[in-house]
Amino acid sequence: MDVGSPLNPLPQGGRGQGEGENKARYVRAMFTGIARRYDLMNALMTGGRHQAWRRAAARLAEPQAGGLALDLATGTGDLALALLAETAVRRVIGLDFSDGMLQVGREKLLRKDPAGRVSLVAGDALLLPFADKTFACVASAFLLRNLAHLEPGLAEMRRVTQAGGRVVALEITQPTLWGFRHLFGWYFHRLVPGLGAVVSGNREAYTYLPRSVERFLPPAELARLMERVGLRDVTCRRLGLGTVTLHAGTA
């Protein structure tokens, strides 16, 4: 199976090790390829709303004052910065497996985090290089549908979160509002790949994007999976007319 085809993105979980590795390789190379234009594309695609959604995710993570937070799959570091701005966290570790995204993040942090409270590290979300219960909260934005194995990824998030700490995941979802769902589908599947081709020079990455959302679990099913890995008080809240959903649970 060619997981490199945007027409056939691999769904998460339940597939063999080899296919998982292929998907991880594809996703890592894709994000490194679009890293320089990633932030601009986010701003254009969402009409600038993406940062408000990350701020909402950070507030929901509500780390204990003075605690250490993890921004899992930090990319260019925006959720890590939102955690600093919106909460009383002391420090944030941002982890990602794309060197290209981390490099853009490092340059951004030189400007936006002069006190050096965010540390960026290279690593795999499926094999976190942290001891159990290291973090006051674990937050992620737009990671889950990119994971080769979803349930093990959620279990890792829970494992490194302190008891009582929050695990938060912001993810793109398909709106349910009749009419708007069709309009959004047309925008996402027809316009966004063209915009990606023009702005980032990578139509394939922005074809993979809507297809990966289409193949991902609906919020209620993701909530059940979060409970299955042991998270409590799981909630989902739709934002942006249902185009994104904030998932949260307590470790």
Ligand X SMILES: C[S@@+](CC[C@H](N)C(=O)[O-])C[C@H]1O[C@@H](n2cnc3c(N)ncnc32)[C@H](O)[C@@H]1O
The footprint of ligand X (CB under 6 A) covers 24, 27-28, 31, 54, 73-75, 78-79, 96-98, 101, 124-126, 141-143, 146-147
The CB-nearest residue to ligand X is 75
Q: How far is the CB of 178 from ligand X (least distance, A)?
A: 28
Q: How far is the CB of 120 from ligand X (least distance, A)?
A: 11
For residue 181, CA distances in Å to 72, 136, 178, 243 come to 29, 36, 6, 9
Q: How far is the CB of 36 from ligand X (least distance, A)?
A: 13
Which 3 state secondary structure label does DSSP give 28? helix
Q: How far is the CB of 150 from ligand X (least distance, A)?
A: 11
Which 3 state secondary structure label does DSSP give 215? helix
Cβ proximity of 249 and 225 under 8 Å: no
Q: How far is the CB of 116 from ligand X (least distance, A)?
A: 20
C-alpha–C-alpha distance, residues 222 and 146, integer Å? 14
If the CB atoms of residues 55 and 249 are measured against ligand X, the closer one turns out to be 55
If the CB atoms of residues 178 and 237 are measured against ligand X, the closer one turns out to be 237
C-alpha–C-alpha distance, residues 14 and 149, integer Å? 7
Residue identified by tokens 């199976």 is 1
If the CB atoms of residues 164 and 201 are measured against ligand X, the closer one turns out to be 201
**Residue ranges in the chain assigned as alpha helix (H):** 17-46, 50-61, 78-86, 99-112, 150-159, 180-186, 192-200, 205-215, 219-228
If the CB atoms of residues 177 and 246 are measured against ligand X, the closer one turns out to be 246
If the CB atoms of residues 32 and 250 are measured against ligand X, the closer one turns out to be 32
* SS3 track for 109-147: HHHHCCCCCEEEEECECCECCCCCCCEEEEEEECCHHHC
If the CB atoms of residues 98 and 162 are measured against ligand X, the closer one turns out to be 98
C-alpha–C-alpha distance, residues 85 and 203, integer Å? 33
Q: How far is the CB of 231 from ligand X (least distance, A)?
A: 19
